[in-house]
Structure formats: C-alpha cells, structure tokens
Amino acid sequence: MNDAINIKVPILARVEGEGALELKIQNNSIKTLQLRIFEPPRLFEKLLIGRHVEELPDLVARICGICPVAYQMSAVHAVESLANYSIPSWLHELRRLLYCGEWIESHALHIHLLAAPDFLGFSNVIEMAEKHPQEVNRGLTLQAIGNDIIQLIGARSVHPIGVKIGGFHKIPETSQLQALLQKIEVAIPAAQDMLTWTIAMQRPHFDNKLASVCLHHADEYPMNRGNIISSEGLNIDITDYEKYFKEFQVDYSTALHSQLNQHAYLLGPLARVNLNFQQLPTEIHEILARQGYTLPNHNLFDGMIARTIELLYALYEAQRIIKNNDFSNTKTPEIKLKSGIAIGCTEAPRGLLWHRYDIDEEGYIKYAKLVPPTSQNQGHIEHSLKQSLTEFGLDKSPDELKQYAEQMIRNYDPCISCATHFLKLKIIHES
C-alpha cells in the first residue's frame, strides 16, 4: 500500500465563496493541511478610504449578500460611539429586530439548504427535497420570514438601504409590524419542531478544546453590544480588540488569519450559545431540557443545533420586540459627528464582526479595518481538520476523507467572500 496520499478538494461546495483544501498525508499522519482561500482580495478597506461616514451604511452593506445587516450595525455603532451617542431604547430594539431578520434568514438557509444534506446523506438540498419536502418547505418559509423582516426595516431584503448613522431613514408602520408578527407567531412552532429535528439527527463527534470567543452583555443575548469574552476568561471592551487579537498573512490564503494569545479560536453560534446560555429565554431552556440536550457542548458537529437554537431565539426576540414597542412616534435625531478612531463590534450570524475607522474632522474615512468572522475562524477550521481527520482515520478512502472534511468545514458556515475577504480538496499521500 502506498503510504503517501495527496487529497485535493478543488472546490468546496455548499459554502459561500471560493476556496479549496489541500491535505498531504505521509506515513498515516498529516504533513500539511491548508485551507486555501483563493477568492481574490476585495479591497473593501481601501475602497472606503476617502468616503464620508454617512455613506458607510450603504457601502458596507454591499460587502455581503448574506450578512449585510451585520456590516451596517458594526459600522453605525462605530461612528456613533465617537459622537457619544446615547442610543434610544426604541432604536436599540428596532436594530435588534433587523438583526433578528438576518440571523433567521442566514441560519435557515444554512441549516436546511447547506448543512442538513450532510447529516441526512444527500449530496444537495434538491435531492433532500425529494425525501424530506416538509423540512425543506419549512426552511424556505423561515428564510422568507427573515427576508421579510429585513425588507420591512431595511427597505430591501438584499443589501438593505434603510440604515443610517443615528437611526433609520424610515420607520415601519404599526400595521406592517403587526402583519409581520402574525407570520412570526406561525413560524415559532415550526422552529420549535426544527430544534427537536436537529437534536435527533445522527452526527459525528469532535470536540475542539481551543477557546471560544463572542460578545456578552448582562441584559441580553448578544447582537449589537457587549464586551468581548472568551471561554478562557477574557473579558475586554471592544476598543481593546487589537491589543489581544493579532491578524497575520499566510502565503496560501487571500484572507488574513487571526489569533488570540497565539492560538486559533472559535466564533459563531456554537461559541455564542455556550457562553451566553443564561441569556436565552426560559422557553428554549425548557425545550432543550425536554430533549435532554445540555450546554455547553463543544462538539463542532453541533454547530447546526446551535444555529437552530439561535433561529428560534431570533423568532422569540422578534415577537417580543414587536409586541412590546410602539415605534410610531419615533424620530432619528441629528448626530454631531466627531473625528477620531471609531470602533464597532457586533455579532454577525457567523460570529464577531469588528470594525475600525479613522475619521477626520470633516467626517471622511482615512483608514478602515474590517475583521470578518470567517477569516478569524480559518485557524480553528484547520486545527479541527488536523485533529478530527486523524481521529476519523487517514487510511479512509479519498472520497470518505473529502466528505468528512467538507462536512467539518460546513459546520462553520464559512462566508469566504467576506473573508477575502472557499472548497476544492487536494489530498497528497507521499512516500
């Protein structure tokens, strides 16, 4: 038997963007494993230089078709922090509702269309739909509700334009919110069923012991605000991010890698539910208890369950916000912009999205730095692949190794277009 194997996954399927995986195996151990992101650099930061901060919400929304709200939220919070803007509670709530829309849309898409086929043994959702039409119907219905929320508040479901510094260009009518509430209330039982469905799925097991990182706020499940915390005890203000997190280049990826204390770390739904379990509502605690599912849980293949928990949470939260708020007499105040270093950090569906803008006296951007979650997760993905593929068995066939590696990567729901800002697998067995 030849003991040197090269495996190449030339294009990663069912992930967002273009990347590949190259794996060199020698004497039944991994010699090289590289997650190659070859999507060209998109130069977002450079494109923002010289633009006025008032253009930011519309410009950054164009970076990603899946998480435009996250980009808008990190940007507006950054600029507003410089102006010492005290965000009114109605605005905090309406922004949170908009963010719920993005989480629902993104998570529903990933769970049903991208991840579930792996766990149920189908090559894609079109095959899965033949055998599981009700589940796929449910996924599309939930995704549509997320889109409806973004459409109503953001004025468009893709690349929304309703957000401005200090608030919104237009506040939705009460009747429109009530119509949305009816759809959300119908969707909640479907999302509850979905949580039971994902927990019952057969799944592989792999624990990664590296740190998990996310926002944390005493009063709420994290979306728009909070300190950056880790499973290792880190608890810092978002303005201190650059003191602890270091970005660096590797020669095989157009996306920067990132480390905390010289180690890779995990972002995203699994990190959030593990570190913010107490912030989830009683209804979710009760469903999880009935299913015998406990948190924290470090099995990376449970990422889909974490997404389902968050999708259900986002529906509850959207319901709460619409029921408890009257937005009819709200008005976006004028904000006096200030120069300086503006920092914003919010929780995109895939994890921490950190922004820094250096703004001059006229309000123009002199420097911009955007650190998206997928680039931060690259090191953790590689670390998980090295360990889990070894546990899985490097003597498995190239097809089995490829399938396992892709499923592992999809657990992270990587958004490569944001990270370059993804997978072809190449496996090389060497003698």
Partner 1 sequence: MNHKLDPQDSIKIIGIGNAYPPDNLGHLIAHQIEQKKLISAHLHPQFLYVHSPTPELFNIIDNSPTFYIDAMKSGQKPGSIHCLTLPQILCHQSSISSHEIGLIHSLKLIHSLKNEINTMAIFGIEVSEDSFLDDKYCINTANIIADEINLRSQSLNSRCFKK
Q: In the complex, which residues of this chain contact partner 1 (CB under 8 A)?
A: 11, 13-17, 62, 65-66, 105-106, 109-110, 113-114, 124-126, 129-130, 133, 136-137, 140-141, 143-144, 147, 156-159, 413, 415, 417
CB of 223 to partner 1, least distance (A): 20
CB of 122 to partner 1, least distance (A): 11
CB of 126 to partner 1, least distance (A): 5
Count, in order, helices (H) and strands (E) of the chain.
15, 14
CB of 405 to partner 1, least distance (A): 15
CB of 364 to partner 1, least distance (A): 24
Complex with partner 1: residue 9 or 342, whichever CB lies closer: 9
Structure-derived torsion over alpha carbons of residues 13, 44, 99, 91, reported in degrees to the nearest 10: 180
CB of 239 to partner 1, least distance (A): 32
Instruction: Assess contact for 143 and 157: CB atoms under 8 A.
Output: no
Complex with partner 1: residue 343 or 408, whichever CB lies closer: 408
Return the bridge partners of 343, or none: 356
- Counting other chains too, the contacts that 248-254 makes at CB distance below 8 Å and 24 or more residues apart are 250/34, 252/22, 252/34, 252/36, 253/34, 253/35, 253/36, 253/37, 253/38, 253/378, 254/37, 254/38, 254/39, 254/40, 254/41, 254/420, 254/421
**CA-to-CA dists, residue 144 to 168, 196, 348, angstroms:** 22, 21, 19
CB of 59 to partner 1, least distance (A): 12
Complex with partner 1: residue 41 or 393, whichever CB lies closer: 41
Burial of 110 from C-beta contacts in 10 A (0-12 / 13-18 / 19+)? buried
Burial of 418 from C-beta contacts in 10 A (0-12 / 13-18 / 19+)? buried
Complex with partner 1: residue 16 or 382, whichever CB lies closer: 16
CB of 303 to partner 1, least distance (A): 15
Taking the C-alpha atoms of residue 74 and residue 86, their distance in angstroms, rounded to an integer, is 16
CB of 221 to partner 1, least distance (A): 23
List, in sequence order, the alpha helices (H) in 49-88: 56-61, 68-82
* Residue 337 parent element (H or E): none
Complex with partner 1: residue 377 or 417, whichever CB lies closer: 417
Complex with partner 1: residue 161 or 234, whichever CB lies closer: 161
Burial of 220 from C-beta contacts in 10 A (0-12 / 13-18 / 19+)? middle
Nearest to 203 by CA among 278, 297, 289, 126: 297
Beta strand segments in 4-119, E: 4-9, 19-26, 29-37
Complex with partner 1: residue 113 or 427, whichever CB lies closer: 113
Taking the C-alpha atoms of residue 75 and residue 70, their distance in angstroms, rounded to an integer, is 8
Complex with partner 1: residue 214 or 418, whichever CB lies closer: 418
CB of 342 to partner 1, least distance (A): 26
- Give the CA angle between residues 254, 258, 263 to the nearest 5°: 135
Complex with partner 1: residue 297 or 308, whichever CB lies closer: 308
Q: How many CA atoms lie within 13 A of 108 on its CB side?
A: 29
Complex with partner 1: residue 131 or 396, whichever CB lies closer: 131
